Amino acid sequence: MDVYLVGGAVRDELLGRAVTERDWVVVGSTADELLAAGYRLVGRDFPVFLHPQTGEEYALARTERKTGPGHQGFEVDADPSVTLEEDLLRRDLTINAMARTPDGLLIDPFGGRADLDARVLRHVSAAFEEDPLRVFRVARFAARLPSFRVAEETLDLMTRMSDRGMLVELSAERIWIELSKALEGPAAERFIAVLKACRALEPWFREFESVTPGNPAGLETTTQRFAAYTSPLDAHALESFCDRLRAPKASARLAIWVVRHGAVVAAWREADADALYRALAERGAFRPDGDLNDALTVIEALHRVSLDDLRDAIGRIRADVRPDVLQAQGLEGKALGEALDGARTAALEAAQLVRGTRDS
């Protein structure tokens, strides 16, 4: 049994980047042997095991044969006779098809090191064409490695895959995963740019045909980054996009709110008080369990403003305009709600006229 470090860990090590996750390939062994050694089986579609001490993933070397449409339509062969080179051959890009022996020897049968040095994203073999998800993986790597270009022959192959309608075979869940990973990259806009270059905006990203995505740089969560990225879309287009990708509810709600209300909140001192109050109340700004901060953080990033004075104003309104005080005056039900809305709107309007120290 031989064990090799493979994939992203080898790539990132050669790039001088921090290695946060290590994957291993086991050659010349079987599932039974690994289970007997204490490894825990976790892979359903192909044999992947967790190391009993480190918890890192170990996969039996395997080949794949296309048997059906989509990302899952493959028959896997993990026979002990499968070689390391055969396992690496099925991978997507040459920079991901390298391995290291336990003593540090680099194994690079497909020129991954040369492509790393040349900053090129290049497919390993014609097998790339069998998996439509790889179109989005290349776009994701372009977003995460901004100095890399997509090889012309790889872009041509991606274009042929798009033109054949293969991308419709994928699930919304897989597309969302690739987009989420792209949003973490320093050049997230390249995800859409690469898809556009290979005619792959249909069927998943058609709304971006004539729209440049917003910049999610500096935002911490996927929910925030998604809202910034989709901010140039109009509300109707964004709703369709979120439905198609089955975006998580929190991400979809925040993104749609930013599109509808971002400009009003960004210029809150000059905004109509009623419109501003409705926008803030929609995010629960005046409730103890409200979730406004994500929204304000995205607006600050997009419009390059500080909303700290607005946060202060909201905090004061929550403290000063309380339901229990109005209830003590005998108000309840609809009358209580209307009184709260009116008092909070009036307080917000007064806050618009007060220039805080943070504005100076």
Domain 1-112 has CATH 3.40.190.80: no
- 23, pLDDT greater than 60: yes
- 69, pLDDT greater than 80: no
Given a contact cutoff of 8 angstroms between Cβ atoms, the answer to whether 336 and 305 are in contact is no
- 68, pLDDT greater than 70: no
Give tens-digit pLDDT for 310-343. 999 999 999 898 888 888 888 788 888 888 889 9
- C-alpha dihedral, 211 to 214 to 215 to 221, nearest 10°: -130
**Does a cis peptide bond (omega within 30 degrees of 0) precede residue 203?**
yes
Kindly state the tokens that stand for 26: 């086991």
What pLDDT was estimated at residue 43? 67
What pLDDT was estimated at residue 321? 86
Going by pLDDT thresholds of 50, 70 and 90, the confidence category of residue 135 is: very high
Q: Report the chain's mean pLDDT, rounded to a whole number.
A: 92
Which of the 8 DSSP states describes residue 58?
E
- 157, pLDDT greater than 60: yes
Per DSSP, the three-state class of 280 is helix
What pLDDT was estimated at residue 330? 81
Same fold flag, 1-112 and 132-213: no
What pLDDT was estimated at residue 351? 93
What pLDDT was estimated at residue 324? 82
Give tens-digit pLDDT for 80-130. 999 999 999 999 999 999 999 999 999 999 999 999 999 999 999 999 999
Which strand ranges, in their side-by-side order, compose the sheet holding 57-60?
A: 40-41, 48-50, 57-60, 23-27, 2-6, 99-100, 106-107
* Ramachandran assignment for 93, one of left (phi > 0), alpha (psi -120 to 50 degrees), beta (any other): beta
Give tens-digit pLDDT for 33-66. 999 999 998 866 667 899 998 999 999 998 877 6
**How far is the CA of 34 from the CAs of 31, 43, 49, 57, 129, in angstroms?**
5, 13, 8, 12, 32
Element (H, E) at 24: strand 23-27
What pLDDT was estimated at residue 20? 87
**How far is the CA of 318 from the CAs of 266, 272, 314, 325, in angstroms?**
20, 20, 6, 12
Number of neighbouring beta carbons within 10 Å of residue 212: 10
What pLDDT was estimated at residue 356? 63
Angle at 83 between CA 82 and CA 85, to 5 degrees: 130
Alpha-helical segments (H) within 186-248? 189-197, 222-229, 235-245
**CA proximity to 9, closest of 118, 117, 100:** 100
Calculate mean pLDDT across residues 294-298: 96
* Prediction pTM value: 0.89
Calculate mean pLDDT across residues 282-290: 87
Calculate mean pLDDT across residues 229-257: 97
CATH fold label, 132-213: Hydrophobic Seed Protein (1.10.110)
- 217, pLDDT greater than 70: yes
Indicate the domain borders of the chain.
1-112, 132-213, 215-360
Given a contact cutoff of 8 angstroms between Cβ atoms, the answer to whether 143 and 225 are in contact is no
User: What one-character-per-residue DSSP string does 94-138 give?
Assistant: GGGS-EE-TT--EE-TT-HHHHHHHTEE-BSSGGGGG-THHHHHH
Given a contact cutoff of 8 angstroms between Cβ atoms, the answer to whether 139 and 194 are in contact is yes
Calculate mean pLDDT across residues 150-170: 96
Going by pLDDT thresholds of 50, 70 and 90, the confidence category of residue 70 is: low
